[in-house]
Amino acid sequence: MAKLGRQTPTFTNVAYTTTLGHDAADLYHETGQELVKWQCLQVEAIMATDDDDLWKHMKYGLAVSRRNGKGEILSARELYGIVKLNEKICHTAHRTTTSHDAFNRLYTLLKKAGYEEHSKKKKEMPKKSFYASKQYGLEHIEIHGGGVIDFRTRTNNGGLGEGFDLLIIDEAQEYTSKQESALAYTVSASDNPQIIMTGTPPTATSGGDVFVRLRDTVMQGTAVDVGWAEWSIESQTEDISNSELWYEYNPSLGTILKERNIRAELSVGAIDFNIQRLGLWLKYSQKSAISAAEWDELQVIKAPDLPGKYYIGVKFGKDGANVSASIASKTSDGKVFVEVLDCVPSRNGPAWIIPYLRNPKVEKVAVDGANGQQIMKDLMKQNGFPPPILPTVKEIITANAVFYQGIAQQTIAHIGQPSLRNIVSNCEKRAIGSNGGFGFKSMSELYDVSIMDSAILAYWLASTQKEEQQIIDY
């Protein structure tokens, strides 16, 4: 008998006696495709019902390493929802390519299940038929006499005004508080709502915070009506070539996933392998120059009103690996709100930053990092933007000092992005110049200090700009 990965989670918060999961798995199997055991068990847990035939878990979180087949679980749930329950569903993902792949997966299942596609919605359509809109980024499937499902890329305001029965949060490690405030209420009017989050443990550059917070409530025993399942190693291991660990934390190993595929991933290094393949959830250091408690005290529940101009900081990492960008603006109460825009491999270039600069409220841009300043300057010129500020060593020293003081004086506000929290709470000072100037460096190779540096640049620009004086004619 072939060796198989562990089929049950290493940690779970699930309890039920009845479920529609068996029926959903049977419907899925009518397509000629099969769910492996752990996928069936997760479908059953997700679709557990209570004594009133309502969803036992109004929220369900599933965390498992990449390429194990989380998408098939979502497809089985969605297929049953639109065919048997007449649900209105919204499937969201961080990237348009991911949501498009999810559409293709469900579209293929319907065809294999014998459903006939019609190019236009008609009154006289066969019983087993559906209409599909294949417009990239706006995909839609509507079952004749049944449910509907939309596939969307998440934004900070997408979903407002719409109502659904089921909300899927794919790539949940990138799900932010801003996006949650726009999407969470879209299921409130449903008689039997459910939100499903699936993803992997966040890396040092993941921008989401909701998935982490949901897990924390489960671990603390304060979660209500929440189901959770994960395959995760408790602490980092250097023994990444140990295939026994691969089988423990990858349920599809031996079926969907092959040993040789995982073996090819060993070159990424121990830290990344622990997170991406063994499901390690990061823990925070308490020896940082800035403590997690200090940083957390500055967190706001939602992004505040920003009446003034925006300022963007761009940092090309010293090692040339990544380029990070952050944005900052003064709040109505005089603080400065900072937010990381993204951290992207330098080899992809900085063109992804340009759309942010098109916002008419962007006033100034500061770019640091000798390996990328000229590239960014030329790119901005080509796109019709004025040249960025290229800070001097003296200005970099000032920016770091201003940021450090801002934490102590609590003039900084943020929304708790894990990517920024990770590095801020795991950094130490480094000397700059010979007169007591300092910057920051990461205490761990897990975290990219360019993320923090870009936030410092943005904060420096926003905090040092004088307010425009209004001239009043009496």
The domain segmentation of the chain, as residue ranges, is 11-276, 292-464
User: In the CATH scheme, what is the code of domain 11-276?
Assistant: 3.40.50.300
- Contact between 112 and 31 under an 8 Å Cβ cutoff? The reply is yes
DSSP string, 247-290: HHH-TTBTTTB-HHHHHTTGGG-HHHHHHHTT-PPP---S-SSS
Q: What is the mean pLDDT of each run of 10 residues along the chain (474 residues)?
A: 91 96 96 96 98 97 96 98 97 94 96 88 76 93 93 78 91 90 90 97 78 92 95 91 97 95 88 89 68 92 92 91 95 95 93 96 95 94 96 94 92 95 91 82 87 97 69 31
SS3 category, 131: strand
Contacts of 128 (CB under 8 A, 6+ apart): 113, 114, 115, 116, 144
Query: Looking at domain 292-464, which of 3.40.50.1970, 3.30.420.240, 3.40.50.10470, 3.90.245.10 is its CATH number?
Result: 3.30.420.240
Q: Do domains 11-276 and 292-464 have the same CATH topology?
A: no
pLDDT at 471 (0 to 100): 33
- Contact between 113 and 27 under an 8 Å Cβ cutoff? The reply is yes
329 DSSP β-pair partners = 337
Strands 322-330 and 11-13: unpaired
CA atoms within 13 A on the CB side of 409: 11
Contacts of 384 (CB under 8 A, 6+ apart): none
Report which residue type is found at 311. Answer: Y
Token code pair at residue 365: 């841009």
pLDDT at 243 (0 to 100): 96
pLDDT at 114 (0 to 100): 93
